[in-house]
Structure 1
């Protein structure tokens, strides 16, 4: 069963229960009020009948006149007055229970009803004799009103349930409309258009969270697909070159069996290409692993200022002559604004690659690392005074194994920045780059504070 139908059915059932309880309360109190009013009219006639029939005083004519002028005779009204110890009159209803008479003998006003026929009675003591005064009458108007009310409540119940079903159906469709839009949008996303994203409306409701969750998943999927495509497209090309060189050098070494110098040169070349092949394989593996976001990448709270000092120490070991300066002038007072929940090893690797490139292409010039937090985002800006990047190469700089045209004199494989980009994207961050050839490069890493 569809969710909309389930919601509608549940809404209708709950509405039916509430309406039935409300109708029951209305019926109970209306029934009680209608009977209470008629009983009071009977009780008034019991007292007046007692004054007219039992008490012999000067007021009897006044009571009789009041009775005839102001109290209308009720439908089927009958008055029964008899001594308590004498047999009951034959014309009185024999169906009156003993509890009715027992309450009368106790000196209380007693009531009883059979369908639409009402009884009220009380005992009076006159001249040391007990008399029972019982008045009976029908109440066709009140009974008919209750019947009409019963019909109205029954019709209203079914009409209300029907309306609640219609309203519930429209309400469920309205509430599930954003979900249907999300499903429709997700169905359009395929392997060839993973760049598409769902529209996330302002707010923090469940639908917005669901759309944002889908977008995060699509980010990871797009990264994984790009990694896979890059791996397949570049692995064959990048691995073929060192393998071809190794194969050629092995043939030269075999032909120069008697020439030790040529064999030494060939073996050295084989060693260099083997090391290059190892670096390429390691880089490809890193790219492949950075395209996934599984449980093997645990996250922890990391102070970014402390991490930058660790990165500085690591890079200084590789480039001893590098001049790395860490700018902490814009740090906030609250330490929580410097703490991210990330995979420390991956984030350290991503920023280390950027800082290492800055040191490598700066030729010993100063490299500045600036840390800043604006409350929602932490930014790490790495600025160097190196060779810079030609404008025609900037758009390709994050492609695996792509190297700028002015880096031929520097050793590298073109995987550092693509690997950093993958890692930053896995942490829902972004990288911005600004460079001018011959002047320097600035790469800014932006990471969301809440992750």
Structure 2
């Protein structure tokens, strides 16, 4: 069943039930009012009969019957019966609609006034005490007109209920169709969006309702997906280009060596060149694998306690072992800070890779291969500043250096593939941290990494 039909039936059912409850309430109120009004008239008839037949100013029974017979307001099938204290019949209007037992008379005396029903006849019994001797007066009648009026009212309510239910059903289907129409347009547009046509967006509308908010969020998700696709295509394109260059060089050198009758020294030189290219390929492959690993969901990366100050000391020793011409200065502020204050939850291998990349990048671009690392602890965070006095990164390229295979103009002539900084950024983001770069001719270039405690 479609959403339109489900919403239509649901709204119709709710309105129908509420309307039925309202109609039932109105019918019960009308019936209660009819019953109360009719019993009030019966009591009035009983009191009138008591005053005129057994009261202080009495009329003869024959005269009262004549008056009762010609009274315009007499009730349908009305019967008045009066008993004295000895249960002797004093007056009867001449009809015989009800039968009276001593138990009935005793109950009326005990309750002073009571009412009951026999079939469609309403009966009121009351104890009349205007004189010294109490009398029991019974008045009964059939509310023909009141019952008929209530029945007509009930039929009117039932007809109105069926009519309004039908109207709600038709109107509900029309308006629900208008409500779900944007969903149909969204579904149609979603079917048109493919991997080769990611520029299409969902119609958002101007109402600002939940459907508009859903379309807006879906469009923002499409923007992110389109950007991811663009980065992926760019990544594949740059990776293919970077891989093609050393592979072409290796192929050319090996083909030349096979065709030429080179001396052993020349062959060794060729093999050394090929080995350098293979090592470069290996470094690139390792960088790509690390970049893919850092792009994983944080829940899939094993995390544990990492002592940041000790890890930085290890990375500094490692970079100086691999690059003896680099000079690394590590400053921890303050030095005597408690052991637990430098601890964070993360992946030690990934953090080691990120810090190594920052140090290697700083030493590579610094004219004297000097890098300064400063670890500090502002409120509720830990901050690492990696500074070098190398060439300035142009302002328009500060954001692009974190894009895979994108290198700044200041990197011209220096070895590298444009993988280290993007990898570092993703590792930092994986640890819920932030990284930014500051570069100027006076202060040099500084990478600032901030981790939450």
Give the TM-score normalised by the residue count of structure 2.
Answer: 0.67
Task: Give the equivalent residue in structure 2 for 1:323.
Answer: 329
Aligned partner of residue 300 in structure 2, secondary structure: coil
**Contact 2:373 2:385 (8 Å CA) reproduced:** no
Matches within 5 A, 1:165-184: 165=169
Task: Give the equivalent residue in structure 2 for 1:275.
Answer: 279
Alpha-carbon displacement from aligned partner over 1:234-274 (angstroms, at most 9, x marks no partner): 34332233233333444566678884433433332232222
Task: Give the equivalent residue in structure 1 for 2:338.
Answer: none
Task: Give the equivalent residue in structure 1 for 2:41.
Answer: 41
Matches within 5 A, 1:125-274: 133-139=137-143, 142-158=146-162, 160-161=164-165, 165=169, 189-192=193-196, 194=198, 208=213, 212=217, 215-216=220-221, 219=224, 222-223=227-228, 225-250=229-254, 259-274=263-278
Task: Give the equivalent residue in structure 1 for 2:365.
Answer: 361
Q: Does 1:297 align with 2:307?
A: no
Deviation at 1:278, TM superposition (A): 1.0
Q: Give the 3 Å change call, closer, same or farther, for CA 47–393 of structure 1 in structure 2.
A: closer
Q: Give the 3 Å change call, closer, same or farther, for CA 323–158 of structure 1 in structure 2.
A: farther
Task: Give the equivalent residue in structure 2 for 1:331.
Answer: none
Alpha-carbon displacement from aligned partner over 1:133-160 (angstroms, at most 9, x marks no partner): 4423344553354235324533443455
Deviation at 1:205, TM superposition (A): 7.7
Aligned partner of residue 75 in structure 2, secondary structure: coil
Give the TM-score normalised by the residue count of structure 1.
Answer: 0.67
Query: C-alpha distance in 2, partners of 1:307/1:371?
Result: 11
Matches within 5 A, 1:42-81: 42-53=42-53, 55=54, 58-60=56-58, 73-76=73-76, 78-81=78-81
Q: Give the 3 Å change call, closer, same or farther, for CA 61–157 of structure 1 in structure 2.
A: same
Unmatched segments (≥5 aa) in structure 2 = 321-325, 335-340
Q: 1:401 aligns with which of 383, 399, 405?
A: 405
Q: 2:414 aligns with which of 392, 410, 420?
A: 410
Moved more, 338-347 or 183-192: 338-347
Q: Give the 3 Å change call, closer, same or farther, for CA 93–386 of structure 1 in structure 2.
A: same
**Contact 2:46 2:80 (8 Å CA) reproduced:** no
Task: Give the equivalent residue in structure 2 for 1:441.
Answer: 445
Query: C-alpha distance in 1, partners of 2:219/2:17?
Result: 38
Unmatched segments (≥5 aa) in structure 1 = 329-334
Q: 1:386 aligns with which of 381, 390, 393?
A: 390
Deviation at 1:364, TM superposition (A): 0.4
Q: CA RMSD in A?
A: 5.6
Q: Give the 3 Å change call, closer, same or farther, for CA 268–179 of structure 1 in structure 2.
A: same
Query: C-alpha distance in 2, partners of 1:249/1:280?
Result: 20
Query: C-alpha distance in 1, partners of 2:388/2:330?
Result: 9
